[in-house]
Structure 1
Amino acid sequence: MKKITQLLFILFPTLILSQVGIGTTNPDTELHIAGTNSTIRIESLNSSNNINNDGIKLAPVFVDGNGDLTLTPPNGTGGEPLNFLLDIPNFIPDNPHSLPFDSGVVINNNSTGETSVEGFIHSVTFTVPQTAVVEVKYGVTIVITDVDMTIPALSYITDNEARTIETFFCFDINNDGLDVIEKSKQFGQKAQFYASNWGGSLGYPYMNSQGYATLPPGTHSIHFFGIVNDSATSYTSVGFGGATDYLKMRVYN
């Protein structure tokens, strides 16, 4: 009889400890957090430790097959394992040349033998918290004329000659200056063909494109370039970003 009594005393504390209460001495479940203003904090999910939490908008929390809480949804759920690093409308200055119209950044291909001219458009600095695949989507407006629009002047193209306009971007890793190797890796390339005779118009069509790259953690910058191609005897002046543009960048785990 004595041995049975001792066994009951051993088991009784174990039964009591099977339920944990915070703010209450009478927990109703295995973990019971009482109080009308009670909250839970999991530091591994905060903006400092998880790339899918930008620290600005609320991040959805998922439950994986093991019951673990995570900001990355399980495969096949249809959720998006991403967050925006950048979402910048009109990211290129509309009138950097102080013209009486919004030209954007002008790149000229003159009529004295040039057939292809490349120029820098704009750059943006950003930070990646950990190694991740980065997706970039951008839209750049262009305006095209056959005279140097920085004079300032605009005119309809009427020579009926073909021209192509291209855009692309490069990444400056660690934002310490775009070197030759970084410049050689061109992402998000897009080209448009243009030709006009009488009846052409001056406007701001879009050039839209996207690209992907795997970047290390740290502060980097993205650099946009434009290329203007025409014949050796044609003058082509292209303004990049005179109207409303956009730049969106998001990361995947």
Structure 2
Amino acid sequence: MRNTYIITALLLCFYLQAQTSAVGIGTTNPQQKLHLENSVGTLRVESLDKDNNEFNGGNASPTGTYPLYVDSDGVLKLILEPLYNSNGQDALDNLTIPTSFINLPFSDPDGKAETTFKTYTITVARESILEVKYSISFEVFQNNASPPAKINDAAARRISTYYTLDTGTRRYGQSDRCYMNNSINNPAAYPAPEILASTGHGYNSTTTYVVLTPGTHTLYFKAEVSTNLPALLTYVKLVTDVDSIFMRLY
């Protein structure tokens, strides 16, 4: 009897497919190629369950559910495949990027200096949303001597990182840090032993989203240093420690 029911159900499915080019389960009027009527229940794919997929973490608290992704071939999977992911490795090498420093001259007219230190080219076939996460390292000095001299004027510098899209000037994902040192004799002379200047790495980090229209686009990652006017001599070394970049398309 059970086999008879199965054969009948299969014949019914084949009949509906021949009539409508669609298959309905629990309904005689399928509205899609495969239509599961509400009372039938959910769709189960065993290749995605906790026993058959390493990216399914099982019965995790509190919900035990995981995002499901679809690739360009329409294959459903649990693995996240970003456009770019440094994944704990150093994303940028200061020896290979186009420009690895910013030099702000003394008395610069606008008190700002900017450089582009990395570019990425992305092509999309439809309107998409691009997620960008980054962490960029830097060090701040007074000049590029060997070794670079510490800043000794007890004044603040702002170090900004961001990216622009194509030929636009809008700053996406801007992140800022303020550098300031102290000097015992400020504003008098600055004997070397009395220069209380911090050294080491600073970091700018942020997450942002930008809409991409169909076509090829270029992201320009930039950094800027600025001071009060008149501009103060400043030298910023870029990507001097472990940097990270993550990009994903939606």
TM-score class, shorter-chain normalisation, is 0.5 to 0.7
Letter in 2 for 1:138: Y
| Shift in CA distance, 212/15, structure 1 to aligned 2, threshold 3 Å | closer
SS of the residue aligned with 2:134?
strand
Can you list the C-alpha shifts for 1:37-71, whole angstroms capped at 9, x where unaligned?
xx9xxxxx963355xx7xxxx7239xxxxxxxxxx
> In 2, are the aligned partners of 1:95 and 1:242 still within 8 Å (CA)?
no
Percent of matched pairs sharing the same residue: 25
Question: Partners of 2:139 and 2:203 in 1: how far apart?
Answer: 9
TM-superposed CA distance for 1:223, in Å, is 0.8
Letter in 2 for 1:140: I
TM-superposed CA distance for 1:163, in Å, is 1.0
Aligned residue pairs total 176
Q: Which residue of 2 aligns with 1:94?
A: 94
Question: Partners of 1:17 and 1:47 in 2: how far apart?
Answer: 33
- Structure 1 regions of 5+ residues with no counterpart? 1-12, 21-29, 31-38, 40-44, 62-81, 98-103, 173-178
Question: Partners of 2:78 and 2:218 in 1: how far apart?
Answer: 28
Question: Partners of 1:16 and 1:139 in 2: how far apart?
Answer: 56
Does 2:71 align with 1:47? Answer: yes
Question: Partners of 1:159 and 1:189 in 2: how far apart?
Answer: 27
Q: Which residue of 2 aligns with 1:157?
A: 151
Q: Which residue of 1 aligns with 2:43?
A: none
Q: 2:208 aligns with which of 211, 226, 229?
A: 211
TM-superposed CA distance for 1:225, in Å, is 1.0
TM-score, structure 2 length as denominator? Answer: 0.60
When structure 1 is superposed on structure 2, of 117-126 and 241-250 the one drifting more is 117-126
Question: Partners of 1:113 and 1:187 in 2: how far apart?
Answer: 25
Does 2:178 align with 1:193? Answer: yes
C-alpha RMSD over aligned residues? 3.1
Question: Partners of 1:211 and 1:49 in 2: how far apart?
Answer: 28
Q: Which residue of 1 aligns with 2:165?
A: 171
Q: Which residue of 2 aligns with 1:234?
A: 232
| Shift in CA distance, 132/96, structure 1 to aligned 2, threshold 3 Å | closer
> In 2, are the aligned partners of 1:139 and 1:208 still within 8 Å (CA)?
yes
| Shift in CA distance, 111/96, structure 1 to aligned 2, threshold 3 Å | farther
SS of the residue aligned with 1:18?
helix
TM-superposed CA distance for 1:157, in Å, is 1.6
Moved over 4 A (4+): 13-16
Can you list the C-alpha shifts for 1:83-131, whole angstroms capped at 9, x where unaligned?
521113433322249xxxxxx7101101133411111111122343532
Q: Which residue of 2 aligns with 1:106?
A: 101
| Shift in CA distance, 233/205, structure 1 to aligned 2, threshold 3 Å | closer
> In 2, are the aligned partners of 1:145 and 1:236 still within 8 Å (CA)?
yes
SS of the residue aligned with 2:222?
strand
| Shift in CA distance, 16/132, structure 1 to aligned 2, threshold 3 Å | closer
Letter in 2 for 1:235: L
Question: Partners of 1:140 and 1:15 in 2: how far apart?
Answer: 61
Q: Which residue of 2 aligns with 1:251?
A: 249
Question: Partners of 1:162 and 1:48 in 2: how far apart?
Answer: 49
| Shift in CA distance, 221/243, structure 1 to aligned 2, threshold 3 Å | same
Question: Partners of 1:135 and 1:90 in 2: how far apart?
Answer: 19
Q: Which residue of 1 aligns with 2:221?
A: 224
